[in-house]
Structure formats: structure tokens, C-alpha cells
Chain A
Amino acid sequence: MTGAAYPDWDSVYRDNVTWVYRLMYRKVGNQPDAEDLTAEVFMTALRPMRMSATVPEVRKYLHMTARTVLAGYWKDRMGRQITTIDDDVPESSEPEQVAGDAPETVRRLLQRLPDNYRRILELRFLQAASVRESASQMGVSVANAKVLQHRALRMAAQNGAEASS
């Protein structure tokens, strides 16, 4: 397996486009940007790629390209890195698992919040509920739900910053 190369660019695309998209999606959180970034990765990477490169080499190369493309995107949009793609690619892991620890990170993040903060973030971010729906589910006013969401995200960010420093 280690020495195997892809037979053609079609198979490079087919085998890798999904994990590249997922990786990008997890780093930007929205579909239009994730699509643009995925397209940029393949536009940039496929052209100079040598077909005799092995499968792990191709994946590593795509991963590094994705990293550069994401960095450029954040620099343009925000003037700084909001999220990054890790430098080291776990050699053995399947591409599907490249960004597979995201749910665990979120679980930890939510666990450290008071109940009503956790609830509002779950409703709004994970369950796609509107502010109004969330408010009625939690038995609070709409204005109250907005404040809760705002404070909950601040606390989650604070915890996150402490955890990483």
C-alpha cells in the first residue's frame, strides 16, 4: 500500500476531495467558504503533482496545501489566524480521521459551561434552532436567549483560551 500511486487524477480527486472538504468545513464552519477553499486546494495542488507520487505523499501534499490555503484565507478575512490546520499529518491514519477529534473538543468545551449556557449553545449551534425556538424551549424571552448565547460563547472562548495557553 505504501508504495502505491494513484492511476490518474480522477482517482486522486475521488479519493481525497471529501476529506479535504470536511477538513475545510471544520475550520471555517460554513459551506460556501469550505467549497471555495476546497476548490483552491485542488486547483493549486493537482497541477504540479507528479503521478508517480505514492498515496501517502499525495495526501500529505494536499494536507500541506490545505494548510497554506486556509492561512491565506484567514489573513485576508480577519488579518489573523482564527483556526489552523495542524502541521503534522498522522501517517497511518485514514484521511477520514484527519479532523476526527472535533466532536470530542466540543463535548469538553460544553461540559465546562453552566447548564443554561450549554443548553443555548447546543440549541443554536448543534440543533440549528432559531433564537425564538431556543427561547421557547428554555422558557426565557427572546432577548434573554440572545444575551445567554452571547455570554455562553464568551465563556466558552475564555475556557478555550485558558486550555490552550
Chain B
Amino acid sequence: MSEKNVRRFVDNLLAGRPTERARPDDFEAEQMKAAIELRSARLGSDAPREEFLTDLHRRLSDDSVDEPRQSGWRPDRRSVVIGGSVAAASAAAGLVVGRNLLAPDGVTTAEPTSQGQLDPNRGTWRPVGSSDDLIEGAALAFDLGSVTGFVHRTDSKLEAVSGVCTHQGCKLWLDAPDNRLRCPCHSTSFSLAGAILTHQLPVAPPPLPKLAVRESNGVIEVFAPTKSA
């Protein structure tokens, strides 16, 4: 009979607060429904927060730590009974159980897609430094305009990777003491060879693309796309 139910509901809704308990009648429920439809139609308001996605990912990963890892699924009837219609739904979809889904420590060990080679249609060998500048184990940043990256020497072999984070394109910086490339945006870090070392994202970003690199007459050269005239 009172309007308090709806008023409080709408006030909370418009303030972005969670829904409080109430016992609305039919018409009140209908008003709440209309209010939800209106509120959720606001442009751009239904995108999940990055922190939420990361946090849930971590919770799902942590959840598996106490569970022994299993290879392949193993039927376990106890786990099927989650609640009437979910169990029915999983049965309908032909889903059986197995606790193999949550890989331990998934936050840092998620196996990313394979590492590509940055291979421009039209490119030239461009000098990025002298061979003397790059001793064993060291790394060197370069910026050729069309590409930026890092070249390092390990086991006397040269290797160059792109200097742009594969998550959202922020520019990586060389953390020389720690021997890694760090992204300023989301605390992602890569090895000098371009592999993901740490990240806090729901899903590991791909490794950094490699660039072709060579040494010629004491000069380190990277194969970079030709600038358009």
C-alpha cells in the first residue's frame, strides 16, 4: 500500500547501490521492473569493471588450490547436484563433472597464445646500435618510428621483441636490474624474450612479437617496416 518500497528501491538503483530486501506487491514489482529496464538502458553502464574481472579470475583460481589437479574429467555424481534446474540444465547439455577446470595459479601461468614474428610486408634493415653497446646478458631499447622494441643478447645470440604491451598497447620500459620489460598500465611484465612473466589480468596477454635482428659489421640491425613516404 505504501510507496516506500518503490521509492527506496529507485533511490538505491539510481545511486548505484545494491538492492535491499523488501516485500513488494504486484504493482510495486512491476514498477521495480520498469525502473531496472530504464536504468540498465543507460549507455555504457553495463560494462564490467576491469578490477572486478581480475578479482573474480583470482578467486576462481584460488578456489582450485586446495583441490588436487586432475588430468581429464572424472565423473563425480555429488558435484552434479547443484540445485534442481542447474543440474537439469547440465544434464540437458550433456555436461558431466570433473574438477579439472580450475588450473592452480591460473593468474600467472595461463598459457598464452604462441609468439608471433613481426614480419612487415615491406621492410628494411635499420641500425639500432653498435655491437659493442650490447654485452652478453644486456638489453637495449630502440625506437625506429614505425616500431619500438628491445634487443638483448643471450648466449651470444641476439633477439629483438616489440616494445608495445600486447594487452592495450602501452609502451613497455626496460627494468634492467630485474631483467624484464614492464608495462606501466596494468603491472604486466615480460621477459626480454617476450614471454609473459607476471600479470594481473583475467587472461594472460599474448607474448610480444619478435623482430628479425642481425649484426653486420659491428652494427646491430632490426628489420623494420619502411616508413611510408
The answer, yes or no, to whether B32 is at the interface (CB within 8 Å) is yes
Q: Which residues does chain A contribute within 8 Å of B94, judged by CB atoms?
A: 53, 57
| A-side interface size class | 35 or more
Q: Which residue of A lies closest to B35 (CB)?
A: A153
- In the complex with contacts A29-B13, A42-B56, A125-B38 CB distance below 8 A: yes
Contact with B along A69-84 (1 / 0, CB 8 A): 0001000111110110
The answer, yes or no, to whether B138 is at the interface (CB within 8 Å) is no
Q: Which residues does chain B contribute within 8 Å of A27, judged by CB atoms?
A: 36, 40
Contact, CB under 8 Å: A83 / B36:
yes
Contact, CB under 8 Å: A8 / B111:
yes
Of the listed stretches B75-83, B115-123, B214-222, chain A binds B75-83
Contact, CB under 8 Å: B98 / A30:
no
In angstroms, Cα B83 to Cα A20, docked, is 19
Segment 30-72 of A: residues with Cβ below 8 Å from B: 30-36, 38-39, 42-53, 57-58, 60-61, 64-65, 67-68, 72
Q: Which residues does chain B contribute within 8 Å of A156, judged by CB atoms?
A: 31, 34, 38
Contact, CB under 8 Å: A38 / B27:
no
How many B residues have CB within 8 A of the partner chain? 74
In angstroms, Cα B19 to Cα A109, docked, is 23
Contact, CB under 8 Å: A48 / B33:
no
In angstroms, Cα B13 to Cα A33, docked, is 11
Task: Specify which of A64, A128, A149 is in contact with B86 (CB 8 Å cutoff).
Answer: A64
In angstroms, Cα B93 to Cα A53, docked, is 8
In angstroms, Cα B19 to Cα A36, docked, is 12
Contact, CB under 8 Å: A47 / B18:
no
In angstroms, Cα B114 to Cα A140, docked, is 62
Segment 57-74 of B: residues with Cβ below 8 Å from A: 57, 59-60, 63, 73
In angstroms, Cα B3 to Cα A150, docked, is 9
Contact, CB under 8 Å: A48 / B79:
yes
Min C-beta distance of A85 to chain B, whole Å: 11
In angstroms, Cα B39 to Cα A126, docked, is 6
Segment 93-139 of A: residues with Cβ below 8 Å from B: 102-103, 105-106, 109, 121, 124-128
In angstroms, Cα B202 to Cα A21, docked, is 14
A-B contact pairs, 18 of them (CB 8 A): A10-B202, A10-B203, A17-B56, A32-B18, A35-B52, A35-B56, A39-B59, A48-B95, A48-B97, A50-B73, A60-B89, A64-B88, A102-B41, A105-B41, A126-B38, A150-B3, A153-B6, A160-B30
Task: Please give 18 more A-B residue pairs, beta carbons under 8 A apart, in addition to A9-B102, A35-B49, A48-B90.
Answer: A9-B106, A12-B101, A13-B57, A13-B202, A14-B203, A17-B53, A26-B37, A44-B82, A47-B63, A77-B21, A103-B41, A106-B38, A125-B14, A125-B42, A154-B31, A157-B30, A161-B26, A161-B27
State the A residues within 8 Å of B (CB): 8-14, 17-18, 21-22, 25-36, 38-39, 42-53, 57-58, 60-61, 64-65, 67-68, 72, 76-80, 82-83, 102-103, 105-106, 109, 121, 124-128, 149-150, 153-154, 156-158, 160-161
Which are the 6 A-B pairs with shortest beta-carbon distances?
Answer: A64-B89, A125-B38, A29-B36, A157-B30, A157-B31, A9-B101
